[in-house]
Amino acid sequence: MSTFEPVLIAGSWRPSADAQDGFRANDPARAEAIGPSFPVSGRADIEAALRAASDAADALANAAPSHIADFLDAYAAAIDADADRLVALAHAETALPAEPRLRSVELPRTSNQLRQAAQAVRGYAWTDPVIDTRNGLRAHRAPLHKPVLVFGPNNFPFAFNAIAGSDFASAIAARNPVIAKAHPSHPATSQRLAQLAHDALKASGLPASAVQMLYHFDNAQGLALAGDTRLGAIGFTGSRAGGLALKAAADKAGVPMYAELSSVNPVFVLPGALAERGDALAQEFFNSCTMGSGQFCTNPGVLIVPQGAAGDAFVHTATQWFAGSPPKVLFSHGVQQNLARALADLLAAGAELLAGGDSATGYQFQPSLLLVDGEVFLAHAQALQAEAFGPVSLVVRSADVQAMAAIAAAFEGNLTGTIYRAADGSDDAQWQTVAANLRARVGRLIANKMPTGVAVSPAMNHGGPYPSTSHAGFTAVGMPAAIHRFTALHSYDGVPDALLPPELRDRNPGGVQRLIDGHWSDRDITA
């Protein structure tokens, strides 16, 4: 067993108890294995992690919020201080650019997200205290008193990492232990983050078993774990097929699973916007589609433009951008294979290839632009809105705004939908027509901006209707709302003040914002 890197369980790094297999990271740029061997955990590791996390659940639920916040802040500071090493590891394992992506964008976003979670903890913002003095009832959101299982995706080694991302920060903020399942495409990055988390945890006074991390386990083990009633909830970011299989297991056990599954993030360009700045939009589109090699949940996978000369010019310019681009490095052979298959499926469904279409050496793929007429899209809407994860986008030519509206109505649930409108408002009637169909099908409606780029904000919705996520009512990003996923509603009926949680007591020394008899305030309650 000692040939594999240790796993983090119950507050210590220990050899895997039962790994039969190991795996190594790949350098995507050169398609060759790098770094040490990490264990593929079996039932013994998983059971040990689940027991340790369960044992810590009550103690963590009863921990002082200040200790939780201190831990999150300390971990954030450690991530910032370790930026050189983290960026080097992540760059080696993902081939994402060290600058600006990893160092200047994703890493600060990750530590900032942890700090926003700490802030939400200090101000009790996620607890939504509600007080009804007339009926003697008080309610708030509370910890689950059970572990949260987090599955991290391949595409954000920091910001969505199972041991450092929004799911992690949210679960811990709500005082739930975490079992992090790292993504096997960046194990050394995850290990380093887990070391920083572990060190911060040791100094925090929180239970040692608040955080466990396993690098990998097979699908059968994952399904068994997802269906274990000892879990309080699951956070998942990944593929639709994998996510739905886990969700079926979790559903059967009554375990809420918050899954971010897939999205093509349709972008509608209205005629006025096209006339105003079509060439610039073509470049913006190309940049958004190829940034991070197109491996974003919010990648603009489908863009709808008007037919006619301006639309043709847009398509021409965009084609030049795509055709002139060097190939992009993908995370893995699997991503490359899936992308080639997805592109072939789009072509088979009636799309025409304008640029790209080829794999290249290693895990590379040529940025690819496809075209289809609106009527064809509507006739094969299901096949033509399948996600192609990578630098591939489909342009749909639309006869008029009514056709755009029909196309909008043909989309299933997505994370985002974008409409480009003219700055002078001349498109706004058409905006209303398109938005009337698009709004309910997306979590975030965007004006005049490509969908890539997800601000960590209280008003963000990084979520959307099924099947983009498993529940249209929740967001995976943005504090305090993302924390709500990992909470239970607790009501107190006639319970004396001294026996209430701090944020529900009469006196409110911390100035917590509370809904008292229908009005938000930070006041004390006086007889």
Distance in Å, CB of 240 to a second copy, minimum: 11
Q: Distance between CA atoms of 283 and 317, rounded to whole angstroms?
A: 8
Residues 132-135: contacts with CB within 8 Å, 24+ apart? 132/517, 133/516, 133/517, 133/525, 134/517
**Residue 484 engages a second copy in binding (rule: CB under 8 A):** yes
Distance in Å, CB of 503 to a second copy, minimum: 13
**Residue 145 engages a second copy in binding (rule: CB under 8 A):** yes
Shorter beta-carbon distance to a second copy: residue 244 or 353: 244
| Binding residues among 146-205 for a second copy as defined by CB under 8 A | 146
Q: Which of 31, 98, 381, 488 binds a second copy (CB under 8 A)?
A: 488
Distance in Å, CB of 425 to a second copy, minimum: 8
Shorter beta-carbon distance to a second copy: residue 27 or 106: 106
Q: Which of 247, 328, 397, 505 binds a second copy (CB under 8 A)?
A: 247
DSSP 447-462: ESS-S------TT---
DSSP 8-class letter at 26: E
Shorter beta-carbon distance to a second copy: residue 324 or 425: 425
**Residue 491 engages a second copy in binding (rule: CB under 8 A):** yes
| Binding residues among 399-428 for a second copy as defined by CB under 8 A | 416, 425, 428
DSSP 8-class letter at 38: E
**Residue 487 engages a second copy in binding (rule: CB under 8 A):** yes
**Residue 445 engages a second copy in binding (rule: CB under 8 A):** yes
Q: Which residues contact 277 (CB under 8 A, 6 or more apart)?
A: none
Shorter beta-carbon distance to a second copy: residue 139 or 169: 139
The alpha carbon of residue 288 and the mean position of all alpha carbons in its chain are separated, in whole angstroms, by 17
Residue 15: which of 4, 25, 24 has the closest Cα?
4
**Residue 280 engages a second copy in binding (rule: CB under 8 A):** no
Residue 353: which of 407, 300, 394, 305 has the closest Cα?
394
Shorter beta-carbon distance to a second copy: residue 44 or 489: 489
Distance in Å, CB of 424 to a second copy, minimum: 11
Shorter beta-carbon distance to a second copy: residue 143 or 390: 143
**Residue 490 engages a second copy in binding (rule: CB under 8 A):** yes
Q: Which of 256, 278, 294, 300 binds a second copy (CB under 8 A)?
A: 256
**Residue 12 engages a second copy in binding (rule: CB under 8 A):** no
Tokens 């290693």 sit on residue: 362
Helical ranges in 205-332 per DSSP H: 219-226, 240-253, 271-290, 309-323
| Amino acid code (one letter) for 85 | R
Tokens 């050496």 sit on residue: 361
Q: Which of 55, 80, 82, 251 binds a second copy (CB under 8 A)?
A: 251
Query: DSSP 3-state helix, strand, coil percentages of the chain (rounded to 5)?
Result: 45, 20, 35
Shorter beta-carbon distance to a second copy: residue 254 or 509: 254
Residues carrying an active site annotation: 260, 297
E-strand spans in 283-327? Answer: 302-306
Q: Sketch the per residue contact string, 213 through 242, with a second copy: x for CB under 8 A, - otherwise.
A: ----------------x-------------
Tokens of 144: 């689950």
Residue 149: which of 113, 107, 182 has the closest Cα?
182
Q: Which of 20, 436, 506, 507 binds a second copy (CB under 8 A)?
A: 436
Q: Which of 104, 283, 307, 457 binds a second copy (CB under 8 A)?
A: 457
| Binding residues among 56-95 for a second copy as defined by CB under 8 A | 58, 61-62
Q: Which of 458, 506, 523, 524 binds a second copy (CB under 8 A)?
A: 458
H/E stretch holding 8 = strand 7-9
Distance in Å, CB of 9 to a second copy, minimum: 23
Cβ atoms 22, 3 nearer than 8 A: yes
Cβ atoms 368, 357 nearer than 8 A: yes
Q: Which of 50, 60, 125, 182 binds a second copy (CB under 8 A)?
A: 125
Q: Which of 154, 161, 317, 475 binds a second copy (CB under 8 A)?
A: 475
| Binding residues among 321-360 for a second copy as defined by CB under 8 A | none
Cβ atoms 306, 313 nearer than 8 A: no
Cβ atoms 323, 366 nearer than 8 A: no
**Residue 139 engages a second copy in binding (rule: CB under 8 A):** yes
**Residue 440 engages a second copy in binding (rule: CB under 8 A):** yes
CA distances from 526 to 63, 104, 355, 507 (A): 28, 49, 70, 8
| Amino acid code (one letter) for 177 | P
**Residue 519 engages a second copy in binding (rule: CB under 8 A):** yes
| Binding residues among 291-320 for a second copy as defined by CB under 8 A | none
- Using the contact rule CB under 8 A, the part of the chain among 11-19, 101-109, 127-135, 375-383 near a second copy is 127-135
E-strand spans in 457-506? Answer: 488-493
**Residue 277 engages a second copy in binding (rule: CB under 8 A):** no
Shorter beta-carbon distance to a second copy: residue 212 or 487: 487
Q: Distance between CA atoms of 89 and 214, rounded to whole angstroms?
A: 18
Q: Exposed, middle or buried by CB within 10 Å (0-12, 13-18, 19+), for 446?
A: middle
**Residue 254 engages a second copy in binding (rule: CB under 8 A):** yes
CA angle at 306 for the pair 300 and 309, rounded to the nearest 5°:
120
